[in-house]
Each structure stands twice: as structure tokens, then as C-alpha cells.
Amino acid sequence: MAPTPLTTISLFGLLPGQARWGLAQMGTSQGPLRKVAGLRFFKLLGSGADNGFGLRPNLHLYGMMAVWDSAAAAEAFFATHPLWAEYQRRSREIWTARLAPIKAHGLWDGSNPFDYAAEMPPSDGPIAVLTRASIRWWKTPRFWKYVAPTSAAIAGAQGVLAAVGLGELPVVRQATFSVWESAQAMQQYAYRDEKHKEVIRLTRQEKWYGEELFARFRVLNSEGTWGGKNPLQFYLP
């Protein structure tokens, strides 16, 4: 039987003095990562001020989203790859979560990297949510007026353990990653928060996005710290 793919997300909080190095990795790390055995999809992601939701860049917070052919391929990278070792050396903290997709729809660069089967027992444990969009450039003023403040408000929603804004390119390719106590907590926010519902209506009505993706994941485990703590410390074995 073929091994089950694995999705991971890592957030890097760089040490002081590493801003130039971190920014350079958005370009220079692409080549080495394309050669990593078993890495079928990856995105290096920058962040903005105010937990990632601001227009000004945060040059000390970066992320990497990855889909691996197997858990073994992921573990080999984290244990032995020199690029990962360099990130560890230059970071004051790193948080990594291993994820199994529950549901994913939409496209990221023309495909859905999370469209694979992951057999998991039923659970009402923590879930992670990724929303990602390529914004039509002439729609960016409307996006930043309505979506960015609403996304930032997620961090204070009931049931949210952590949230961050990430992006491939400033202004026009944006994502939000959040971790929730349960699917029920996430659904209550998505379907009951009036500002959130209004933004969803506007994005559809005004066609802000050239491409978008929504994915929900079960969190298998996590390690390290994000903002000085592991947000899942008391929610996973």
C-alpha cells in the first residue's frame, strides 16, 4: 500500500540581525527545496506587521507550507537537510504542525495540493484552517479595506488558539492560517460573525480573486513554539 502524504506548516521567528538573510531565502531557497526527495509541493511565505495582517512587512516572521509524499520524507528533511538546519540556527523559535486534510477546495497555482485521502478516526480535536487568494490587482484597495481587518479579527475570535497572516507576494497573494479548538468553534465563527459573512458576500459579488483556496485540516501533532508558546500544548497528547 502506498504511503499517505503529509502536510506540514512551519513558522520561523528569526533572531535579531537575520532580517536580510530571511528575506533572501524567499528567492534563494526555492532551488534547493525543488530538489528535496519526497517534497511534492511547497510555498515559502512572508508575513506582515500586526500578526501578519498589516501592509508593512515583518522581516522576522516567515512560514513554509509543504506537502510530502510520506511522513518519512518529511522526517528525513527535518532531521538531516542543511537548509532546515540553517533555519534552526538563525531562528529564535520555530513551530511546526503536521496536518491531515479534512476538506480542501479551490486552487493554488492551478492545482489543489491538499486533494489527497488521509484516513483519520473521527475527532473533535483541534483543527487548522488555511485560506489563500490571488487578488486581482485592481481589487486590492477593496480587499485591504474589508478583508484584512476581518482576517485580523480572527485572532480574537472565541475558540481560536492562534492565527497569522502570510503571503507569497506583498499585497496581491495573501493567506490566513488559523488554529481552532474544534471544528464547531470554527463553524460558529464562519456562519455567525456578521462581518465575516459580509466579506464573503463581497468577494463573490465583486469577484476580487483570480484564484482562491480554502482548506481545513486535522492537526496530528505540533512541536516548538509560536509567539513564545506551543498553542496546542494542552489540546494534543
User: What pLDDT sits at residue 86?
Assistant: 98
How many Cβ atoms are within 10 Å of 21's Cβ, its own excluded?
A: 15
Report yes or no on whether pTM surpasses 0.95.
no
Q: 63 pLDDT exceeds 90? A: yes
pLDDT tens-digit profile of 213-236?
999 999 999 999 999 999 998 777
User: What pLDDT sits at residue 237?
Assistant: 64
Q: Could you give the count of Cα atoms lying within 13 Å of 137 in the half-sphere of its Cβ?
A: 2
Mean pLDDT of the chain: 88
Assign 212 a pLDDT band (cuts: 50, 70, 90). Answer: very high
d(CA 97, CA 236): 11
User: What pLDDT sits at residue 121?
Assistant: 61
d(CA 46, CA 43): 10
Share of the chain above pLDDT 90, in %: 59
User: What pLDDT sits at residue 141?
Assistant: 77
The burial of 167, by beta-carbon neighbours within 10 Å (0-12 exposed, 13-18 middle, 19 or more buried), is given as buried
Taking residues 132-151, what's their average pLDDT? 74
User: What pLDDT sits at residue 66?
Assistant: 98
Q: 56 pLDDT exceeds 90? A: no
User: What pLDDT sits at residue 167?
Assistant: 87
pLDDT tens-digit profile of 143-199?
767 666 666 677 778 889 999 989 887 656 788 899 999 988 888 877 676 676 777
The answer to whether the CB of 201 falls within 8 A of the CB of 195 is no
User: What pLDDT sits at residue 33?
Assistant: 97
Q: Which of 91-105, 111-125, 155-169 has the highest mean pLDDT?
A: 91-105
